[in-house]
Amino acid sequence: MGHTWSAGRRAGILSGTGAVVLFLLWRRLRAPARMPYRTQWNHMLARRYGTTTANQCVDRPGQIIRELCAGYSFPRHLMLHYHVTWQILPALAMYRTLVEELEDSLIARDVVSQLVWQELRPIYRIATASFAPLPAPFPFWRMLVQIAMKTIFPPSGWRTRPAANTARCFGFDIVGCVYLDILRTLGAPELAPIFCQMDDRLAQLIPSSIGWRRAGTLARGQDRCDFRWINRGRREQS
């Protein structure tokens, strides 16, 4: 009985997790256009480079974002608007600022990767925390990913192809990505792999019974981004 979870309880966990994540995104979408994460990014940069440099680095991106918004027509889809204004533009603006300040694009990309993860990690932790007590989390992770690909990462921004959907493995391939498309248009395709890294970082937060496998991504030069999750717990339970 200790490992028996009712359908209602499973559905409640899944719907509750989705509701919390969507609520956090909704709150962000209601906020006015601005330079997000200013305070938390300032703290992290101050620890690494000192207060003076950190203040300079968080002042400049806001101006860059305003310049980008004035000269580019971004998607109107609600969730794509979120990805542009809360993910792509802040990262790009900070990247350009750090390249100017540090005069090293490789270091600038590494710093931006850390800043982006610092911002995304709390949301990912909320999304994955409810799966920890489940004796067999793989089916629920599959459902959560399927819901996310219809809502948070909609088809209007990510073109996908089904690849695997069995008890042992679930996954799909992305053959078109709005992040890469927009960053190419804005002249910074080298920044796109940073967002690919977030998938790998997310995989470290999900239960260990769910494996993660990826061969490559569009941003890294492959012809697709392959997403594969493996049900490691299935053999142990059989």
Instruction: List domains and CATH numbers for the chain.
Output: 7-237 (3.90.1520)
Tell me, what's the pLDDT at 184? Answer: 96
Nearest to 127 by CA among 13, 11, 233, 4: 13
**Residue 96: count of CB within 10 angstroms of its CB:** 21
Is 73 in a helix, a strand, or coil?
coil
CA neighbours closer than 13 Å in the CB half-sphere of residue 3: 4
Number of H helices, E strands in the chain: 10, 4
Contacts of 123 (CB under 8 A, 6+ apart): 21, 24, 25
Tell me, what's the pLDDT at 32? Answer: 46
**Residue 76: count of CB within 10 angstroms of its CB:** 8
Tell me, what's the pLDDT at 10? Answer: 52
Exposed / middle / buried, residue 49 (Cβ in 10 Å: 0-12, 13-18, 19+): middle
Tell me, what's the pLDDT at 222? Answer: 97
Return the bridge partners of 177, or none. 158
pLDDT under 50: residue ranges of the chain: 1-4, 30-33, 234-238
